[in-house]
Structure 1
Amino acid sequence: MQHISINIENDLPATRDLPAGATVPDELPAPKEVRLHPTQPNGGENASIYFVGTATTIIEWMGMRIMTDPNFLHAGDHVHLGPGVSATRQTNPAVDLHHLPRIDLVLLSHYHGDHFDQKVEVSLRRDLPIITTPHAHKQLTDKSADSFTNVTALDHFESTVVKINSNESQGRHQIRVTGMPGKHVPSHSIVDSLNSLVQAIPPTNGWMVELGGVDPNDAEKFTCGYRIYITGDTLLVDELKRIPELYRNERIDLMLAHLGGTTVPSPSLGPLALMVTMDAKQGVQLIRLIQPDLTIPIHYDDYDVFASPLKDFKAEIEMAGLQDKVVYLDRGDKFGFTVREA
């Protein structure tokens, strides 16, 4: 198992091109709304997830900030999604790239413009720790110049341990990140075979993020205090069945579900287009498969290639009687939760 050690530095910017005179804020913008667990007792929350937009979230715990799939384009901006395929952003992020507080780690599910846009790639600090797929690792590091220098590659079911070094943690608190399976195109299809040859749609990971700690007397004994499954961009494929098998006796506290029914090259082509992320129905099916305690849908309306809006997912959730198992966040909202003491 790989290990990453992160020293939390309060004044280190996420970007290397901070405008002249700008300063790094101490915190994220005040949330529009703070959401909590709908059925469990609340109070004493010590961690949170801030929804920036599309698949970009910022997880905060023990003074550490983890950013997922950074995309900070604005409405009207375009991204490249493959040969002859582009998408137009319909929304604005809840915070601008250069207004971010310190970011300690990036989880990048795959190397695609709507998850790691062109402005982010130019702007991010080159030594910012990134955990990503082997494919994205090659794209980020295999450059003649200006490569990212602190990238960790995880394939499906490979893990790394992130050690938090701060006055508060003193190295006892850790985060275990494990690559989860994901498929951006239907398995065992003609499209899958063609994509393997031309690599138009990159390989993708989900993540299992386990917030916890180690026994001061036994550094090898990790105890999870809160487990988050981030689906990444995937369809409901057979490979996902391994997740509940692997975590059969473990609690999955939260699932961040990438939805939207992303359809390329365009939803307007109807049956001629290819769906490459879960739609509302598949999202509910995945809840039934994974059985998380709670689900937060993300990645559902930010680009014009999304064909399955959030209202469709809400309707499916109501029909399934799962209303108490879902929390909805708007861009700029925060979900507060409690990491159990290790």
Structure 2
Amino acid sequence: MTVLNIDCRSKQPPTRDLPPGKELPDSLPKPGNSHGHPTKSNENTNASLFFVGTATTILKWEGFTLMTDPNFLHAGDHVHLGPGVTGTRQTNPAVNLEDLPQVDAILLSHYHADHFDEKVETSLRRDLPIITTPHAKDHLANKASESFTNVHALDFWQDLTVDFLTSQTTSATLPKPQIHVTGMPGTHVPPGPLAAANDLLGAVPPTNGWMLELGYSSPQGQSSQPSNTSATNTSDSSSTFQSGYRIYISGDTLLFDDLHKIPEMYSSHTGKPIDLMLIHLGGTTIPSPKVPLLMVTMDSKMGVQLMQVINADVTVPIHYDDYDVFLSPLSDFKKAVEDAGLNSKVVYLDRGEEYRFEVRKDESLMPIE
């Protein structure tokens, strides 16, 4: 098991070009609205997910901040999505890149400009930990100049543990918070001749989904305290880890057979239920919705089918209207959800809103007095 050690106490900005005289904000902007579980009590929430826009979210828990697929372009900005294909942003992010508070790590589903835009690539700190695909690591860690120096690749089913140290988690006698990250299958291109052609041409990059398990390990099983950021291999770092909340992030994928393997490993039947699914929608089409030759992300119908396959307790749709290459609007997904009788299992976030939830802590990990 690989362990990524992150010391979050240094209070560094996520970018390396913070404007002169500008101080690092202490927190994100106050959310426009805060949502909780649609049918259960929300009295003990201790974690939050802030929706920035497109596939960019910010997860905060136990003093640790994780950002997914950073894209901070504004309405009218363009991105390159493949040979002869561009997309124009239709919306603004809920917060600007230079106004972000401390970010401790990035989870990048794939190396595509609508998930990791040119401004982000230029501005981010080079030592910021990034967990991503092998393809994306090849690009980020092997740039001709100014490579990213702390990139960690996970292929499908590979995993690592994020072991972090914050001002809130320094006690040696209390359960230690950790995040277990596993790469999940994903594909932009349906299996068959198109996939084979894309492998040769490299027109659309390979993509991952993710399983995040937020939980705690007992003090006896914790690894040595992290120093700055580094990755080490250890055989028993997660032996006492107990997940308190699971988040499945679909990534930019179509519905395909490998996704059916996920509930074989993560479900109430296996004792590993999925609490939350972040589903990438939009029915992205290339070269454009007016000429829809190829769909590379799920539309509303596929989205509901994936909800039925994964059977997460709650689903939050993201990546649905921020670019002009999206063919399937959120309204289509809402109707499909209603038709399937799944309204009570979905929470809809607008940009600048958050979803709050509880990461459970097993009492067996607490020290005996």
TM bucket (normalised to shorter chain) is over 0.9
Residues 167 and 18 of structure 1: CA distance in aligned 2, closer, same or farther (over 3 Å):
closer
Amino acid in structure 2 at the alignment position of 1:199: G
Q: In structure 1, what is the equivalent of residue 188 of structure 2? A: 184
> Helix, strand or coil for the counterpart of 1:335?
strand
Q: What is the number of residues matched between the two proteins?
A: 339
Kindly indicate whether residue 66 of structure 2 is the aligned counterpart of residue 66 of structure 1: yes
Which amino acid counterpart does residue 74 of structure 2 have in structure 1? H
- Trace 1:20-39 onto structure 2 (pairs within 5 A): 20-39=20-39
2:243 alignment partner, one of 206, 224, 239? 224
Q: Deviations over 1:54-77 (max 9, x none)?
A: 000000000111000000000000
Offset from partner CA, 1:282-334 (integer Å, 9 cap, x none): 00000000000000000000000000000000000000010000000000001
Q: What are the within-5 Å matches in structure 2 for residues 242-321 of structure 1? A: 242-248=261-267, 249=270, 250-270=272-292, 273-321=293-341
Q: Is the 8 A contact 2:300 2:336 kept in 1?
A: yes
Q: Partner of 1:75 in structure 2?
A: 75
State whether structure 2 residue 200 is matched by structure 1 residue 197: yes
Following the alignment from structure 2 to structure 1, what is the Cα–Cα distance between the partners of residues 116 and 124?
10
Shift of 1:211: 0.4
CA–CA distance in structure 1, aligned partners of residues 4 and 28 of structure 2: 24
Where does the alignment leave 5 or more consecutive residues of structure 2 unmatched? 223-238, 363-369
Unaligned runs of 5+ in 1: none
Q: Which residue of 2 aligns with 1:94?
A: 94
Alpha-carbon shift at residue 169 of structure 1 (Å): 1.8
Indicate yes or no: 2:162 matched with 1:162: yes
The aligned residue for residue 327 of structure 1 is: 347
Quote how far apart the aligned CAs of 1:10 are.
5.4
Secondary structure of 2:290's partner? Answer: helix
Q: Is the partner of 1:95 in helix, strand or coil? A: coil
1:218 aligned partner, one-letter code = G
The residue type equivalent to 2:113 in the other structure is G
CA contact (8 A) 2:63 2:167 kept: no
In structure 2, what residue type is equivalent to 1:102?
Q
Cα distance in 1 between the residues matched to 2:102 and 2:32: 21
| Structure 2 CA distance for aligned equivalents of residues 119 and 76 of structure 1 | 14
2:179 is aligned with what amino acid? Answer: I
Q: C-alpha displacement at 1:4, in angstroms? A: 0.4
CA shift, 1:9, in A, is 2.5
Q: 1:341 aligns to what?
A: 361
* 1:66 partner SS: strand
> Quick one: which amino acid aligns to residue 343 of structure 2?
Q
SS of structure 2 residue aligned to 1:264: strand
What secondary structure, in the 3-state scheme, does the structure 1 residue paired with 2:350 have? Answer: coil
Runs of 4+ in 1 over 3 A off after TM superposition: none
Q: TM-score, normalised to structure 2's length?
A: 0.91
Deviations 1:75-120 (A, max 9, x none): 0000000111000000000000000000000000000000000000
Q: Could you tell me whether the CA contact under 8 Å between 1:35 and 1:336 is conserved in 2?
A: yes
> Do the aligned partners of 1:10 and 1:26 also contact (CA within 8 Å) in 2?
no
Q: What SS does structure 2 have at the residue aligned with 1:315?
A: helix
Taking structure 1 as the reference length, what is the TM-score of the superposition?
0.98
Match of residue 212 from structure 2: 209
User: For residues 4-50 of structure 1, what are the alpha-carbon distances to aligned partners after superposition, in whole Å with 9 as ceiling and x for unaligned?
Assistant: 01111353100001111111100000000000001001112100000
CA distance in 2, matches of 1:83, 1:311: 30
